[in-house]
Amino acid sequence: MKKHVILIEDDDAIRDSLSIFFKRENIDLTTYTSGKAIMEGAYAAPDLFPLDQQLPGIAGIDICRHLKSHQMSKNIPVVILSARPGIIREASLAGADDVLLKPCKLSVIRRVMFRFL
């Protein structure tokens, strides 16, 4: 069965790069530029949520807390993407399964993401 990822990233370049990466790996990808659809529950459950930390409206950490507090999504892995090194502890406390510090190499993205797929 084909894996499905929901990526929430507002930076066009990063979103486009990750879209190419997931498509090359034959993974269905849904992208959003904000957390609105997730917070409203308007999505089909994926196998993984990579979430940018700094998003318009609501931070990735808050989306993570929301996901981890709901029965439907609490067991779906969440990877926080951030350029802020101090995010690691905060992400862990929010229930994130891992953190990717931007910028990062494709080999690191592959290693982290595929631990959960």
What rounded mean pLDDT belongs to the chain? Answer: 95
Residue 1: its pLDDT value, please?
84
Superfamily name with CATH number, domain 4-114? Response regulator (3.40.50.2300)
- The CA distances from residue 92 to 27, 79, 83, 87, 88, in Å, are 26, 10, 16, 8, 6
Dmax (CA) of the chain = 37
> pTM to 2 decimals?
0.94
C-beta of residue 98 within 8 angstroms of C-beta of residue 115: yes
Residue 25: its pLDDT value, please?
93
What whole-number distance in Å separates Cα of residue 75 and Cα of residue 87?
21
Residue 12: its pLDDT value, please?
96
> What average pLDDT does the segment 84-92 reach?
93
pLDDT tier for residue 85 given thresholds of 50, 70 and 90: confident
C-beta of residue 82 within 8 angstroms of C-beta of residue 102: yes
State residue 104 phi and psi, 5-degree precision. Answer: -140, 155
> What average pLDDT does the segment 105-110 reach?
91
Whether residue 61 is predicted with pLDDT greater than 90 in this model: the reply is yes
